[in-house]
Chain A
């Protein structure tokens, strides 16, 4: 798939129209165009303001608990008998996942824009919880759209959001999952243009969201760079992250994109298996198309209708992927692989038993790939997996899948 050996830079996107090569852009109805242009303007002003960076850094340190540790997974390394495995521990952040990184950044943008009402979509509920958290922290009204099916399988997070003062609105339409929650959030935004800010949780959607979310999540990779220098005195050899929309992965990858010696793997959810058609692997099983404001790889049928995604992980259950990932795939810079529901469940249990860490089902997919790749690599290969969320929210789903009664 590589078009050239390597580009001058892989960190140049998006261009002024929000494109990453053929991908990205601003495919929204005219009513929303002025709004997203306003968000872009506000975000660009924040980038130029040292006070913004300082305020965000302060919150990251004192509220979210950054930097997250870089942890040598000694027993898993021993178990695999190959690569030296590290976890970037973003599950230790306040609210239990990497989602808080982006929410803190965007809530500061929304405040500067003078917005009083925040809306967001959520799949697993991690982004919903992180959004509800920052809204509580800053005293802003919060409405979360969540698919009815996801509400059913992520009950603890739904209750958490309500405790934080958010209104959770169930979306029964379509497939009642993340994509439908995003449709409803966009419909809300278009009807409440004056006071509302849409806090998108993944590195997808219309420009400037993919770029803005990536920038706020890049703190993961930037910290890792320093931490790996301290731990090993050099750069890692490979980076591994789960990919739904792809925000934790792009945050890990982006600071290393021009270090061509660092190999990168995005792990898509293969659900019940790529051949069954019941999966959420937009790159492995999709084609380029346009949805939710951007051009990217999408699961779709021969008539261009969006297909249902399937994954045991609600956070990966989305029929698309962020446009920068689509471009990195197209350029051959990042390799996209996949792991099934069952492989993720195996990884979930292995990590719990050997490391005493319950991973969320999303990074369990990344770990499933590590289980395949690490044993074949030499001992001096430094591998870093993003532990982007903790698994407490998933215990009911895992219990059901394993046939355990609680």
Chain B
């Protein structure tokens, strides 16, 4: 076994923990960058994905496209549709992760999606294939803790973190139900709403974080409604990392011509935007 392979296996399941430990050591918040797999094309997506770590993304969330993304706003709905036009399936998403892992072993990869494509693929088959590809965590939007165990047993067996969402509507009585089986980190949904619509309220997030910290020692990542470097900076002051999704996806959408063909500088433009977000987030903590 080559040295690189050994490192890859050792890192499995620990990349998330290692990354948050590193952020803590450097005393800074992290940036989680979201992109939908194969959006706008498999080639441009791969360029963006491989450029994200040096653009300053500390963790990467890859969206598995779904025909009926009920928790997503227009930006991510459209990005899913663009991806599905290329016939994107789970195997394609996992292949992109494997490709990414050939050169990048430290940045955690989180897959985010809806349950049906995974259920159809098979819970165990998915967990095994995802682990092999180098996936570190999974967020399934429509799989609350009450329904998650069926998939979670296989994720646990394969060293993949099951990341749960907590929302402004989750009461103190409910938080233990969410957190008891959580691993990796907790994803706090900053707004009651869908992605990319309302703007997250910093004061509300600050209050919510104090509540979350009472319930868990896991890192808390905040997403939904964070669109600009300034907002990312303001939110990051109160949490371990901030997620930006729709705003990145919007840069992709703006770089498409009338026929949906990407402009040749699209990946550069996306990565430039991610750099500004990273600068915002990384300067957030005193």
Contacts and interface: CB of A to CB of B under 8 A. Distances in A.
Interface centre among A30, A180, A293 (most CB of B within 10 A): A30
Interface stretch (B21-29, B37-45, B161-169, B237-245): B161-169
Nearest to A38: B169
B197 interface: yes
Main secondary structure of the interface of A (DSSP, over half): mixed
B192 A193 contact: yes
A31 B198 CA distance: 15
A26 B146 contact: yes
A190 B192 contact: yes
Contacts of A17: 146
Interface stretch (A139-147, A160-168, A296-304, A325-333): A296-304
B118 interface: yes
Interface string A283-298: 0000111111101001
B171 interface: yes
Interface stretch (B137-145, B214-222, B250-258): B137-145
Contact of A26 (B69, B119, B147): B147
A17 B150 CA distance: 14
Given A27-B142, A33-B170, A187 B120 contact: no
B150 to A, nearest CB: 10
A29 B193 CA distance: 10
A176 interface: no
B70 A29 contact: yes
Contacts of A180: 68
Nearest to A306: B67
A370 to B, nearest CB: 34
Interface residues of B, number: 43
Main secondary structure of the interface of B (DSSP, over half): loop
A109 interface: no
B71 interface: yes
A29 B165 CA distance: 8
Contact of A304 (B121, B167, B193): B121
A303 B120 contact: yes
Interface string B42-74: 000000000000000000000000111111010
Contact of B170 (A30, A173, A304): A30
Nearest to A17: B146
A54 B117 CA distance: 45
A190 B194 CA distance: 7
B120 to A, nearest CB: 3
A395 interface: no
Interface in B165-202: 165-171, 174, 178, 189, 192-194, 197-198
B234 to A, nearest CB: 22
A46 to B, nearest CB: 22
B84 interface: yes
Contact of A290 (B142, B164, B174): B142
Given A29-B70, A183-B68, A190-B71, A290 B115 contact: yes
A303 B146 contact: no
Given A191-B194, A305-B84, A306-B67, A31 B169 contact: yes
B68 A30 contact: no
Interface string A216-239: 000000000000000000000000
B19 interface: no
A291 B165 CA distance: 18
Nearest to A32: B169
Interface string A10-45: 000000010000000111111111110000000000
A32 B168 CA distance: 10
A295 B142 CA distance: 11
Contacts of B143: 27
B192 A27 contact: no
B12 interface: no
A304 B119 contact: yes
Contacts of B147: 25-27
23 contacts: A25-B146, A27-B142, A29-B141, A29-B189, A30-B144, A31-B165, A31-B167, A33-B144, A34-B167, A190-B194, A191-B194, A191-B198, A290-B114, A290-B142, A300-B120, A303-B88, A303-B89, A303-B120, A304-B119, A304-B121, A305-B66, A305-B116, A306-B68
Interface of A: 17, 25-35, 173-174, 179-180, 183, 186-187, 190-191, 193, 287-293, 295, 298, 300, 302-306
Given A27-B115, A305-B67, 11 more contacts: A29-B142, A31-B165, A186-B70, A191-B193, A287-B120, A290-B116, A298-B116, A303-B88, A303-B89, A303-B117, A305-B117
> Which 7 A-B pairs rank lowest in CB-CB distance, beginning with the nearest?
A304-B120, A304-B117, A191-B193, A31-B167, A30-B165, A303-B89, A305-B67
